[in-house]
Chains A and B, each alone.
Chain A
Amino acid sequence: MAIETTTDNAVKAAPTPKPSRRATLAWPIARRALTGLVTLWCISVIVFVATQAMPGDVAHIILGPGGTADQVAQLNKNLGLDQPLVSQYWDWLTSVLTGDMGNSLVSGQPVSELLSERIFNSATLTVMAMVLILPLSLLVGLLAAVFRDRFLDRTYLGTSLIVTATPDFVLGSLVIALFGTVVFKVLPPVSLLPPGDEPWQHPRQLVMPLAVMTLVGVTYLSRLVRVSFIDVLESEYVQLAIIKGLSMRRILFRHALPNALAPSIPAASIMAAYTIAGSVVIEYLFAYPGIGSALVDAVAGHDLPMIQAIIMLMAAAFFCFNQLADVLGTLNKSR
């Protein structure tokens, strides 16, 4: 959906007679960067307002119903909640920008320290999933397009309709039941990693979360690949190549692939963005020590600085991938 916005920019940029390509692209990208900064700022305000500016509740939430008035006042002072909102926001923003996210209220350790390993674990999982998703989506999308409206394609469309509609936690539970506990007991049902270990030291633990992420990602992306392949296969030059009697393999890989690939690249970026949001459910389901499961723990423990840091981080990453998709879309259109 995020690609829609780029259309306006691309159209505006197009009619200028023969400007250098770089100049045409510089403006939309600069504008995008600027609106991007404003949006990120808006996000920071939303996170701040939602967490700290809520009328007087934070200390109560942290202390629970047993907190006395003295404790509440003391905590408010420690958290800086007795200061005016604007200066609270300013302090918070400057420390976040300098990488200081405060200390966890549960363990007392700096949030940035607690999160660094979690971020690394989540990033590893996401990158591995993307490495699997991209080639698989291409292959599946291509096969479905070539066998369009035949048995293979219909089966694929039906399956993808079902997978798209099924929540991640349902898919995950099914996979665990199938391979972890009930039918075949071949894989560990939870993906706990010993602290300090790299995720790839435990490949068996990663199989099931990766499988679910890949399944969800491939069904989304391959549908777009299929549609863009069908468009290309119906285009005149491919039709001409078929009439000329070129081999199907040559047509597909030399002529159709590069053209069908272009629209899929921004989509891949959008998908990476959604993977971040989806990771909360997947990580919680498999008890994988990433930032998604850290968020669930932080909310359960009313760990305010952790909640703020994780949500800012996720929103920023989600946003960056969306912006990347937009920019790639613009580049694509202006080509």
Chain B
Amino acid sequence: MIRTRPTEQGDQAPPSNLTRRVLTSRQTRLGLIMLMAMILFAVIGPFLTPHSPTAIIAKPYASPGDGLLLGADSLGRDIVSRILSGGINLTWMGLAATALGVTLGTTIGLVAAFAGGIVETLLMRVVDVLLTFPTIIMAILFISMVGPSRPILVILVAIGLTPGMARVMRGAARPVMRREHVMWARTIGLPSRHILMREVLPSVTSPLMVEIGLRLMWSVVGLASLSFLGFGVQPPASDWGLMVSENKDGLAIQPLAVLIPAACVALFTIGGNLFAEGAARVIARTEGTRK
């Protein structure tokens, strides 16, 4: 549908390029800006910290003043420094988990739709079993055994994203398999990998784009929640989810130590959702609701 010439697209003729078309929506632009801003904040933040985020420099819950802009947290560390350096892990782990989960899920979904028959049934059965296991429970199960190392967290969250992704992509790819250009490619015997990458994948970019936004939101929600439960980034390292649970007992004295990190996580995930829903709406409007 992206390859169709503009003249074939009816009266309104939206931009043929998917990215530009999706960005016509104000909601999508806002979501993307929020995402970019939070990523930028998380990446630059660690270089701007006035103090070391792990150094104990004041009394617990010391009030602002004395060079501490927002005061001190539950152990007497600078809140500003901890907020500034608390996003980088969440960001890279969220992006990595999303990339891994989306790639895995798309591969499984496309291969299932392409192969059909017994391969499809088997793959989808495995997906069904994985779907019956809530991501956060599975993550807790494995973390309780092997410990919360960061690569393991990324892999667990990615595995949690994979089954849902595989289902959506299989659903999107199935009608594509019956299109002429794919049938033609199969008939002249092009290698399967070539067909999937060159013929099928470009035809499912619309749902893919929506899903990337959604999965990014879910992986950040999942990682932040695990970190809040104490199964994510380990103290003394700083992390937004961890900060909320570290400082929640001092909520009455030092509310900003909880509310600002919580707001940072929320802005990140809301940005992802705004983008995904905005993109879904634009795509539904310009391509018709094809499910």
Q: Do A and B bind each other?
A: yes
- A→B interface (CB under 8 Å): 1-2, 4-5, 35, 39, 42-43, 46-47, 50-51, 54, 57-58, 61, 161-162, 164-170, 173-174, 176-177, 180-182, 189, 273-274, 276-277, 280-281, 284-285, 295-296, 298-300, 302, 307, 311, 314-315, 318-319, 322
Summarize A's interface: helix, strand, loop or mixed: helix
- Starting from the known contacts A42-B129, A54-B146, A57-B145, 9 additional A-B residue pairs (CB-CB under 8 Å) come to A58-B145, A161-B274, A277-B137, A296-B229, A299-B144, A302-B144, A314-B134, A315-B132, A315-B134
Q: 6 tightest CB-CB pairs across the interface, nearest first? A: A277-B134, A165-B273, A181-B252, A299-B144, A170-B262, A165-B270
Q: Please indicate the chain B residues that have their CB under 8 angstroms from the CB of A285 in the complex.
A: 228, 248
In the bound complex, how far is the Cα of B265 from the Cα of A281, in angstroms? 15
CB distance from A9 to the nearest CB of B (A): 13
How far does the Cβ of B156 sit from chain A's closest Cβ, in whole Å? Answer: 11
Cβ contact within 8 Å between A314 and B255: no
Partner of B137, one of A1, A35, A167, A314: A314
Contact status B140-A295, CB under 8 Å: yes
Complex contact B167–A4 (CB within 8 A): yes
B172-184 to A contact mask, C-beta < 8 Å, 1/0: 0000000000000
Once the chains are docked, how many angstroms separate the CA of A166 from the CA of B240? 14
Residues of chain A within 8 A (CB-CB) of B144 are 51, 298-299, 302, 307
Asked if B199 is at the interface (CB within 8 A of a chain A CB), the reply is no
Determine if B129 and A39 form an interchain contact, defined as CB atoms under 8 angstroms apart. Answer: yes
* CB within 8 Å: A-B pair count: 142
Q: Is B22 positioned at the interface, with any CB of A under 8 Å from its CB?
A: no
| Residues of chain B contacted by A61 (CB below 8 angstroms) | 145
Q: Interface stretch among B56-64, B80-88, B188-196, B217-225?
A: B217-225
Q: B221's closest neighbor in chain A, by CB?
A: A167
A182 → B minimal CB distance (Å): 5
Question: How far is B272's CA from A299's CA once the two chains are assembled, in angstroms?
Answer: 31
Contact A280 B255 (CB under 8 A): no
Q: With a CB–CB cut-off of 8 A, which chain A residues contact B231?
A: 299
In the complex, chain A residues whose CB is within 8 Å of the CB of B101: none
- Please state if B270 and A162 are interface contacts (CB–CB under 8 Å): yes
Q: Please, which residues of chain A bring their CB within 8 A of the CB of B262?
A: 169-170, 173-174
Answer yes or no: B123 CB below 8 A from chain A CBs.
no
B251 touches A176 (CB 8 A): yes
Q: How far, in whole Å, are A176 and B251 apart by their CA atoms in the complex?
A: 8
- Please determine whether A170 and B136 come into contact, CB atoms closer than 8 angstroms: no
Q: Does B244 contact A (CB under 8 A)?
A: yes
Cα-based distance from A184 to B208 in the complex (angstroms):
44
Query: Closest CB of chain B to A242's CB: distance in Å?
Result: 24
The residue in chain B whose Cβ has the minimal distance to the Cβ of A52 is B145
Task: List chain A residues, Cβ under 8 A from B136.
Answer: 277, 280-281
Pairs across A and B, CB under 8 Å, 21 listed: A43-B132, A54-B146, A57-B146, A58-B145, A61-B145, A162-B266, A165-B221, A169-B224, A170-B224, A177-B251, A181-B251, A273-B134, A276-B134, A277-B134, A280-B140, A284-B228, A285-B248, A296-B230, A299-B231, A300-B230, A311-B140
Q: Do B266 and A166 have beta carbons less than 8 Å apart?
A: yes
Residue of B nearest to A308 (CB): B141
**Cβ of B206 under 8 Å from chain A:** no
Residues of A within 8 A of B230 (CB): 296, 300
Q: Are B134 and A1 in contact (CB under 8 A)?
A: no
